Structure 1
Amino acid sequence: MAENDLDWVVVAEKDLHAFPWTRGNFVDSLAAGYSAWVMRIGDHAVGYAVVLLVMDEAHLLNISVQRAFQGCGLGRRLLDFVADTARQRGAAQLFLEVRPSNLAALGLYEAYGFDVIGRRRAYYPAHDGREDAIVMRKSL
């Protein structure tokens, strides 16, 4: 992901999430040196991911696939890429947070071998207040 991808990424993020990351969140992530990618099929962008790598840990901060391409294995392929890249860069574990209401993501992460290791109370904004985050970890 580069700054010239952000127009598309921000539009996709707003379409996919009720409480999307802002352009500033993506700009700050890139400026801080986080690893970030756009997944493409040919010239068409279909997904993206942002990962923070620190020492021997990777933290998946955002992973998204456009609605029209969900359910056909692209999320898993993007997750494969993220995990393989994190492993190659020295990460032994991959962490993430996910909303309990995001059943599709939970199913993907569980099928991928992530384990639930905790819960962050009132972590995410929600329409009726706040929503917890389920914290998950996968050994790489």
Structure 2
Amino acid sequence: MKNTRHEAIIRMMHPDDLEQVIRIEHEIFLFPWSLVNFSDSIKAGYQCRVLAQAGNDQVMGYGILMMGPDEAHVLTLGIGASWQKQGWGKYLLGYFIEYAAAQQAQTVLLDVRESNLGAAALYKNLGFKQVGVRKGYYPAMCGREDALVMVLDLL
């Protein structure tokens, strides 16, 4: 299935969406964010978005972007398992990149688990470059896992 704007929309995340968001979060991550993490992000005014099916509003994915003075930081981004590998992650991340550029951000930052090869490949494909490693950043089944710090220059 090819993704088009006619099949899905990106819109603001609302508290009513959180049940679907949490369901996806638990489906795709071993160490998911909590309901409070998402709720606090909405309350803090971060750019919280959902990717939803046009017509029935089923949440297919979500993302949260925090804006700073010169940079944007992707705090989380997830696509439901049945929607993965169809270009939806790239579509949603592209939205955040365009948003950050429109807000005059110079860079977009994100962290990715070292073991998440698919996501890291997507980010590299979009022009992100690894600029560092956060040792033991993520919880893992056997202790902690490093995060790759990646940046996209928008200038």
Q: Same fold (TM over 0.5)?
A: yes
Task: Find the aligned partners of 2:71 and 2:151 in 1 and give their Cα distance.
Answer: 10
Structure 2 SS opposite 1:82:
helix
How do residues 31-70 of structure 1 correspond to structure 2 at under 5 angstroms? 31-42=43-54, 43-70=57-84
Cα deviations by residue, 1:26-75 (Å, 9 ceiling, x for unpaired): 01111111111000121221110001101110000001111111111111
RMSD: 0.7
Aligned counterparts, 1:18-29, within 5 A: 18-29=30-41
Q: Unaligned 5+ residue runs, structure 2?
A: 1-12
| TM-score, scaled relative to structure 1 | 0.97
Question: Normalization by structure 2: what TM-score?
Answer: 0.88
SS in 2 for 1:80: helix
1:14, 1:90 → 2: CA distance?
Answer: 34
Distance in 2 (CA, whole Å) between partners of 1:39 and 1:92 is 25
Deviation at 1:132, TM superposition (A): 0.5
Identity %: 40
Q: 1:83-122 to 2 correspondence within 5 Å?
A: 83-122=97-136
Structure 1: which 5+ residue stretches go unaligned?
Answer: none
Runs of 4+, deviation exceeding 6 Å: none
**Candidates 78, 86, 96, aligned match of 1:82:** 96
